[in-house]
Amino acid sequence: MLGPTRGAEYLTGQLLIAMPGMTDPRFQRTVIFMCAHNQDGAMGLVVNRLFGSVNFSDLLDQLDIGIPQPARNLPVHYGGPVESGRGFVLHSTDFLRDGSMQVDDDFALTATIDILRAIATDRGPRHSLLALGYAGWGPGQLDAEMQANGWLNAPPDENLLFDTDLDTKWERAIAKLGVSLTMLSGEAGHA
């Protein structure tokens, strides 16, 4: 997995918002939290789609964690098309353990069973989002997609990121930029 990079030219810790004209059905109307972006590529989690009918209890059973009634009913998100059998928890930084990757001052990513056990027993982070799979880009790929007007980016917002109103998350992410959907086009403007 890619490590975080804080250079101004990189999108680590930002929201990536699909433009209205996004043609790839895997990413239409998606909001992605960028966990890492550097010269080696990029990795993020889709935060506004669920992973089919899988629920947290089912996942705990499949992993043989042995907690029949989790303290929280955490939705399981579709994190992206890469490694859909691999789980990730995006969470607030009040819970940092061995294996946690701190993205920035507010957000961290952990991919261990220990965090699932902590969440299930109400000893986990204040805010968390569980995802299966991730969105990944090779070196320069995301940069090219940005230049081709495939994506917008915005600073993250804890309320937007962790709330469960997935149906309006894309529109609300765009609204954070202060623009209307009617003003956006997939075409680059040139004078």
Give tens-digit pLDDT for 97-110. 999 999 999 999 99
- Res 191: pLDDT: 41
Going along the chain from its start, the domains and CATH numbers come out as 15-183 (3.40.1740.10)
Q: Could you tell me where the beta strands, DSSP code E, fall in 39-147?
A: 41-46, 50-55, 75-78, 82-92, 100-102, 107-110, 128-137
The percentage of the chain sitting over the pLDDT mark of 70, rounded to a whole number, equals: 89
The percentage of the chain sitting over the pLDDT mark of 90, rounded to a whole number, equals: 72
pLDDT band at 184 (very low <50, low <70, confident <90, very high): low
- Res 66: pLDDT: 80
At residue 19, φ and ψ (nearest 5 deg) are -65, 155
Q: Are 132 and 76 in contact (CB under 8 A)?
A: yes
Residues 6 or more apart whose CB falls under 8 angstroms from that of 145 comprise: 137, 151
Query: What pTM was estimated for this model as a whole?
Result: 0.89
Question: Which residue reads 């956006």 in tokens?
Answer: 184
Instruction: Name the DSSP letter for residue 52.
Output: E
- Res 7: pLDDT: 46
- Minimum mean pLDDT among 17-21, 52-56, 184-188: which range? 184-188
Q: Are 34 and 4 in contact (CB under 8 A)?
A: no
- Res 18: pLDDT: 96
Mean pLDDT of the chain: 89
- Res 52: pLDDT: 86
